Structure formats: structure tokens, C-alpha cells
Structure 1
Amino acid sequence: MRASDVDRDRVAAVLREHTAQGRISVEEFNERLEQVYQSKTYGELARVTADLPDVDLRAQPARVPAAKSPQQGMHPGMRGAWAAWASAVAVTSVIWLLTDFGGYFWPMWVAGPWGALLLVSSIFGTNRK
């Protein structure tokens, strides 16, 4: 039977979990991942995971709720954007502290406009997960 992209992604997730648990090395994970995305049938996918425990390729993925409430957090991309902003502000602030502490706080030109754009995007942007 032919495998779909969802099936290949499911096996890739299984391989990531087994790598995290230490059953396979990162190098072996990369080799197997390449085989997974070249696989066309369930049989080929099964051969990639044959020596790993508890692998059921036909298991249905857990259903994800259609709509997430705002309390469950923001889009992962937006969290990444805020993390990048915080990192840039931290780095420029440390440079300012080491070179010109007490002088003109120039990192505000990094933090201010970028932070304002992120804030507007966070408040008014759509929450697409």
C-alpha cells in the first residue's frame, strides 16, 4: 500500500522520539530520515523502523482541536520572533553596558521599532497554527 506524506511525517516523528531516547544516534537518525522521505510504501517505511520497539505505522494521529483558544499561547513563529527580538535587545544592551554605560542608550533604536511591530502583530495578527 502506498504511503502518504502524513505517514512519512509520522515515522519521522517516531524516529525523532527514538533518537531523543538514545536508541539511535544522530547520524543513524539522519540516514533513516533520508530513507523515510524516499519511501513510497508502508513496507519501505516498516523496514526503516523494524528494529525499534512500539512502532505502528497505521496508527491514526491524535486529533488536534480545530480552534485553539487564546489562553493556549501564541503561534510558534510569533514566539520565535519575540525570542529573536529579546536576544537582539539583550546583546545590544550588553554591548552598551560594556562600552558606554551611563551614556546615550542607543539599543532603544533596536528594541523600540522592532518591538512595536511585534506588539502590533501579536495583538492584531491572526493566530494561525
Structure 2
Amino acid sequence: VAPISRGLVGEKATLLNVNGDAAAGEIAKALTARKLIFLTDVDGIYDRSGKRLPKLSIAEAKRILASGIASGGMIPKIEACLKALATVSLARIIDGTKPHALLKEMANGEGGTS
């Protein structure tokens, strides 16, 4: 999702820098998509010890946000996943820098955090 959008600031038309993660989550929710997949440069969400968490419940994801374990660009990804899960059956965060990451995820749900 391109993070540039047109909008109004006051009465003046301008370009806005929209958070692409938030936009993707809202689009997936509105479309009632089957799956929302975020490609990033890490292999999912990690706990404080550095262990990847392959699956999280909604409550666990909220705790990770509240506790400060998630930081930087992972925060809007998790928030977008939580919003999208109102209508989307599966949200995933995977490492898009790995070869064929999206194909592997689509084929067998490999890697990342659901």
C-alpha cells in the first residue's frame, strides 16, 4: 500500500504521508480479506528474551503492545493486525527479505508470527 495520499489541510489540497501499515489493515478489514500479511525485515514478533513468537492471541498481542516489548515499526503493524482481525480471519507478520517469503507463507504458513 503506497503511503502517499491526497487530502485537505484546512482548505488546501496537499499530499499526506499515511502510515502504510494502518492503511493496509483498514483496507483488509473493509474488504473482509481472508488474510493480511505484513512483510518486514524481521521474522515476526519476539519476546523479551529474543525468542520468536509463532502465534499470538489477541490478548497476547495487546499485552505485548502495553508492555513495551514491541517497538518502532512493529507497533503499527501489530495495531493494524488487531484492527483487521475484526473481519479478517488471519493476520501475519513475516520477513519479506527472505527469498520466496510470500510464496512460502501462502503455501504452508511458514515463518513469522500469526
Of structures 1 and 2, the larger Rg is shown by 1
**Bigger relative contact order, structure 1 or 2, given CA contacts below 8 A and separation 6+?**
2
Normalised to the residue count of structure 1, the TM-score between the two structures is 0.22
Q: Name the one with the larger helix percent.
A: 1
Normalised to the residue count of structure 2, the TM-score between the two structures is 0.24
